[in-house]
A and B are shown apart, each in its own frame.
Chain A
């Protein structure tokens, strides 16, 4: 992995024997025990660990659910009711998996906004950031296919709508989109065949995710963690060993997060879902108001912002294609952020002008989420168009321009100075200081 060398010393003869043949303990020790971590990380940096937990928890509960679930049009809905009612602790495991998906996205969005605020995407962390965008995309695909599996009304129609997005390609080449959609469905409509293949892929993708996450962590350990000042680690006193310092903080963050998680699992298991999903899928009736799961709402709002005209500009037959392109573009544009941001400093903390735009962008995302949950009519569409415009302006105009014209406030010379003040006195621990607390 990274440039940091492990200080691992095997304590037993067997340990030494093993270390010479497979130095996995050496690697883990170097990467997760004495790895130098910036001393000034705040709780927002615990979300990486929380996300790892979420991924593992989803895989475990998912494997267990697959033991009881039947991926067929006639069996899916019934088998989930069977899990809820008859399987020992089935209600618990099913709630953990369903709520877990939402919690995964909560943590993921916090993680992304933390990265955006503190400039974690800037050199030398561009590849790390792009891997993150890939993780987000794979997560979304997994979540979407997983949402098919309960085979309720909302599920069925959301899948119909989402897969139909591909039919926008008909605008480019007549018949192309339709062909792709039918290929995805394995038929002329969403059916049990579609369900079965989505189940297979839903089981596969999390393991792909594990692979990309491993690369993400690898890339992280090459550059080292960013920190609230955005400064690099320049001297031993800037960092502390990962264990016990960062780890003790990570686990506090994780358990605080679990409090929220458990609240939803035990007291609000259906809050993040939709009542219509307790009706079995019916290919003949669409529910009056269909919305995706909350974590897709901002992107859904962007999709629907492209009606016949956009802020007065008539779109004509291109509306559908543009909506789809904008929706995917809204995610893909994240991958270009390392080059769109022209600022010399990483952390928004030292960027007096951009700071305002950052919070405006955060508000835009929330507003789009709200608009995505509303019917696509009247004033909601206008607002969705306004916020969609800002969403893209933020990346394409604000990021490059503000970075060029803004004068950052004075940066501390080092992380230590930021923490300890100008005098740079006090007890500065060295990077590999013995664990003072134990």
Chain B
């Protein structure tokens, strides 16, 4: 390996080490400020916390599902590994009593009919389509939440010279939780508008939302959902849990992905070292 390469590699790693504290500089720039949160599923080692996913589903069921669907998640997913892993019997009962029925048919008379959901059916919201949703929500459209965590992110605007370091920092720490940070920031970001700001009729002030005016009224308050496992009933916990649940809904294979990922990385590392030693053997008698 040439000296040039050695130097390049060395400076790469040095840079990587140096940039970790530099993340503190990240906050500059404009746009709503969203703080990074600590997530059990964050970074390269994170996995979902089953108990948290169960609580998060409870929040979704009691609060969010009044307006939002979750149509890419099927009741069967609530049972599977890597998710909330509710017992099958209780999910079946839940599906059967889910208020938003499945439209099926046509039956023998040629009519569409509604039937209760089962394990293979999606978790539907209250509205059949966007038009119906807007008609019932003052013209606003509550989006389906299946992908909301992946479809949102936090925009950062670092100065040009910190940009590459922050980028490398995110790559090394494998930061993928921008959507979760944003959602948590949004759910906890409601407040009265600051002085001088007028909020339009039917809108709510939210510091995390771009433009700060959001059609969704504050959905979660302290004590709005009864937790069964004794977790304190605070807005903060609700926001965290439902965000974790929706992060799972957007990426149900995360646990498996990271588990396999470590096995693959280990394999590649060992093989690369072996191949490098082999290469040195092959070249040992030749100066190059």
**B221 CB within 8 Å of chain A:** no
Selected interface stretch from A52-60, A255-263, A312-320: A255-263
Docked CA distance A275–B269 (Å): 31
- Minimal Cβ-Cβ distance residue in B for A367: B160
Q: Are B286's CB and A436's CB within 8 A?
A: yes
Docked CA distance A42–B262 (Å): 30
Docked CA distance A252–B274 (Å): 9
Q: List 21 A-B contacts (CB under 8 A).
A: A42-B5, A81-B146, A81-B147, A91-B257, A252-B272, A252-B279, A255-B272, A258-B272, A266-B258, A266-B260, A267-B44, A270-B150, A275-B151, A278-B151, A278-B250, A279-B151, A370-B160, A419-B287, A426-B287, A429-B286, A437-B285
Using A245-B286, A276-B151, A419-B287 as known contacts, list a sample of 5 further A-B pairs with CB atoms less than 8 Å apart, ordered by residue number in A: A228-B2, A240-B286, A249-B279, A263-B174, A267-B174
Q: Are A266's CB and B275's CB within 8 A?
A: no
Q: Which A residues are within 8 Å of any B CB, using their own CB?
A: 39-44, 81, 84-85, 91-92, 95, 228, 240, 244-245, 248-249, 251-252, 255-256, 258-259, 262-263, 265-271, 275-276, 278-279, 370, 419-420, 426-427, 429, 435-438
Which residues of B231-288 are within 8 A (CB) of A? 250, 252-253, 256-258, 260-262, 264-265, 268-269, 271-272, 275-276, 278-279, 281-288
> Which of B178, B268, B288 has a CB less than 8 Å from the CB of A275?
B178
- Which A residues are in CB contact (< 8 Å) with B256? 91
Q: Are A42's CB and B1's CB within 8 A?
A: yes
Give, as a whole number of angstroms, the nearest-CB distance from B176 to chain A. Answer: 6
- Which A residues are in CB contact (< 8 Å) with B203? none
Q: Are A40's CB and B261's CB within 8 A?
A: no
Q: Are B283's CB and A262's CB within 8 A?
A: no
Give B141-175 as 1s and 0s: 1 = Cβ < 8 Å from A's Cβ atoms: 00000110011110000001001000000110010
Which residues of B7-62 are within 8 A (CB) of A? 44
- Which A residues are in CB contact (< 8 Å) with B125? none
- Which B residues are in CB contact (< 8 Å) with A91? 253, 256-257
- Minimal Cβ-Cβ distance residue in B for A421: B287
Q: Are A39's CB and B160's CB within 8 A?
A: no
Q: Are B284's CB and A268's CB within 8 A?
A: no
- Which B residues are in CB contact (< 8 Å) with A228? 2
Most B Cβ at <10 Å: residue of A95, A271, A438: A271
- Minimal Cβ-Cβ distance residue in A for B279: A248
- Which B residues are in CB contact (< 8 Å) with A251? 275, 279
Give, as a whole number of angstroms, the nearest-CB distance from A143 to chain B. Answer: 21
- Minimal Cβ-Cβ distance residue in B for A277: B151
Q: Are A248's CB and B282's CB within 8 A?
A: yes
- Which A residues are in CB contact (< 8 Å) with B276? 252
Q: Are A278's CB and B279's CB within 8 A?
A: no
Q: Are A419's CB and B253's CB within 8 A?
A: no
**B212 CB within 8 Å of chain A:** no
Residues A248 and B257 in contact in the complex (CB < 8 Å), given A267-B44, A275-B151, A419-B288: no
Residues A262 and B179 in contact in the complex (CB < 8 Å), given A228-B2, A251-B275: no
Residues A43 and B288 in contact in the complex (CB < 8 Å), given A85-B72, A262-B261, A278-B150: no
Give, as a whole number of angstroms, the nearest-CB distance from A385 to chain B. Answer: 16
Docked CA distance A44–B9 (Å): 13
Give, as a whole number of angstroms, the nearest-CB distance from B250 to chain A. Answer: 7
- Which A residues are in CB contact (< 8 Å) with B275? 248, 251-252, 255
- Minimal Cβ-Cβ distance residue in A for B277: A252
Docked CA distance A42–B285 (Å): 17
Q: Are B176's CB and A270's CB within 8 A?
A: yes
- Which B residues are in CB contact (< 8 Å) with A436? 285-286
Docked CA distance A81–B77 (Å): 14
Docked CA distance A91–B151 (Å): 17
Residues A245 and B150 in contact in the complex (CB < 8 Å), given A85-B252, A255-B268: no
Give, as a whole number of angstroms, the nearest-CB distance from B105 to chain A. Answer: 20
Q: Are A43's CB and B272's CB within 8 A?
A: no
Docked CA distance A263–B173 (Å): 11
Give, as a whole number of angstroms, the nearest-CB distance from A109 to chain B. Answer: 15
> Which of A244, A265, A275, A437 has a CB less than 8 Å from the CB of B153?
A275
Q: Are A259's CB and B252's CB within 8 A?
A: no
- Which A residues are in CB contact (< 8 Å) with B152? 275
Docked CA distance A270–B163 (Å): 19
Docked CA distance A228–B288 (Å): 11
Q: Are A267's CB and B287's CB within 8 A?
A: no
- Which A residues are in CB contact (< 8 Å) with B72? 81, 85
- Which B residues are in CB contact (< 8 Å) with A279? 147, 151
Q: Are A259's CB and B253's CB within 8 A?
A: no
Docked CA distance A277–B93 (Å): 35
